[in-house]
């Protein structure tokens, strides 16, 4: 890269995090460009969720450096990350089941109107804005008055993503957004990822469904036991290689142990 090159949207360098004796992150490096979709893969326990939470400000690392658009940042709470336009959709979605679609989209910042000087929830505006938000993202949910507990997994996922997008993120992290979805719903979420990245948002997509990543990602980064072990442009790799990178070392490590135990 030369001196006039645009800095990456996110640069994480040598991120370290331990929980007691468990070294969850052992010097992780991640870069994402504006509008890039990065697939983050690795076996269970590789550290994918932890490194994402560091970027989202919910986990404070023991060491390392984070830069956003070339400037160093220090996050000690999710509000810090949000202030830098970093949003994360968590595995559990963090929706309120007994609140309706519009209420979930605007939870904590519901539009108000004054009636005789008293602030009241502006239901009409909230539902109108919710409808615009969903339509703008091409999300098909016919009724914003439904409680989200009555919606399908894919619709719930779409609402969690819409809510994150409504904070105008530069970076959107999604942790296993398609893990629990039916095939048709997976396609809708992947389309949503494309819509969002085409707006210039950098997306970090964690998924075990490698075939999904090959549809929407520009690049894949592989983690293994708290470190990055490989980084591949999507056009320069294939499913077999990525599978090898994820599990290969495990089998090598196992066979090495088996040999040394002989």
Pick the closer one to ligand ADP by CB: 141 or 160.
160
Q: Does 221 sit near ligand ADP (CB under 6 A)?
A: no
Q: Does 207 sit near Mg ion (CB under 5 A)?
A: no
Partner from Mg ion, ligand ADP, none binding residue 50, C-beta < 5-8 Å depending on class: ligand ADP
* Token code pair at residue 54: 């560091």
Q: Does 24 sit near Mg ion (CB under 5 A)?
A: no
- Residue keyed to tokens 């990543």: 213
Among 8, 9, 32, 49, binds Mg ion (CB under 5 A): 49
Q: Does 104 sit near Mg ion (CB under 5 A)?
A: no
Closest to 37 measured CA to CA, from 150, 176, 196, 145? 196
Whole-angstrom Cα distance, residue 152 to residue 134?
A: 16
15, 64 contact by CB (below 8 A): yes
Cβ neighbours for 147, distance < 8 A, ≥ 6 positions apart: 97, 98, 99, 100
Q: Does 19 sit near ligand ADP (CB under 6 A)?
A: yes
Angle between helices 153-165 and 123-136 (to 10 degrees): 100
Stretch near ligand ADP under the rule CB under 6 A, chosen from 17-25, 69-77, 143-151, 244-252:
17-25
Residue ranges of E strands in the chain: 10-19, 22-32, 37-42, 63-68, 71-73, 86-89, 112-115, 118-121, 171-175, 202-206, 219-224, 227-233
Stretch near ligand ADP under the rule CB under 6 A, chosen from 30-38, 48-56, 81-89, 100-108:
48-56
Pick the closer one to ligand ADP by CB: 146 or 179.
179
Whole-angstrom Cα distance, residue 118 to residue 25?
A: 50
Among 35, 45, 111, 153, binds ligand ADP (CB under 6 A): 45
Whole-angstrom Cα distance, residue 230 to residue 143?
A: 44
Pick the closer one to Mg ion by CB: 45 or 111.
45
89, 172 contact by CB (below 8 A): yes
Partner from Mg ion, ligand ADP, none binding residue 162, C-beta < 5-8 Å depending on class: none
- Residue keyed to tokens 């890039």: 36
Partner from ligand ADP, Mg ion, none binding residue 42, C-beta < 5-8 Å depending on class: ligand ADP
Q: Does 178 sit near ligand ADP (CB under 6 A)?
A: no
If you count them, how many residues does the chain have?
262
Q: Does 3 sit near ligand ADP (CB under 6 A)?
A: no
Q: Does 50 sit near ligand ADP (CB under 6 A)?
A: yes
Return residues touching ligand ADP (CB under 6 A): 19, 22, 24, 42, 44-50
Return residues touching Mg ion (CB under 5 A): 49
């Amino acid at each position: 890269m030369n001196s006039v090159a645009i800095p990456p949207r996110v640069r994480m360098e040598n991120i370290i995090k331990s929980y007691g004796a468990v070294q969850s992150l052992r010097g992780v490096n991640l870069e994402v460009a504006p509008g890039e979709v990065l697939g983050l893969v690795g076996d269970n326990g590789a550290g994918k969720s932890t490194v994402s939470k560091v970027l989202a400000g919910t986990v404070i690392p023991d060491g390392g450096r984070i830069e956003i658009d070339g400037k160093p940042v220090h996050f000690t709470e999710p509000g810090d990350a949000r202030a830098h336009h970093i949003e994360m959709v968590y595995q559990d979605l963090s929706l309120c089941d007994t609140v309706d679609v519009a209420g979930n989209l605007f939870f904590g910042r519901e539009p108000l109107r004054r009636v005789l000087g008293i602030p009241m929830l502006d239901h009409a505006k909230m539902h109108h804005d919710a409808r615009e938000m969903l339509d703008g993202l091409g999300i098909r949910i016919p009724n914003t008055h439904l409680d989200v507990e009555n919606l399908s997994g894919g619709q719930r996922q779409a609402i969690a993503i819409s809510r994150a997008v409504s904070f105008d993120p530069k970076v959107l992290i999604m942790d296993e957004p398609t893990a629990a979805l039916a095939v048709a719903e997976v396609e809708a979420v992947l389309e949503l990822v494309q819509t969002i990245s085409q707006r210039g948002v950098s997306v970090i997509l964690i998924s075990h469904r490698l075939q999904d990543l090959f549809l929407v990602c520009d690049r894949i980064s592989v983690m293994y036991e708290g470190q990055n072990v490989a980084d591949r442009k999507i056009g320069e790799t294939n499913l077999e290689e990525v599978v090898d990178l994820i599990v290969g070392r495990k089998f090598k490590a196992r066979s090495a142990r088996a040999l040394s135990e002989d």
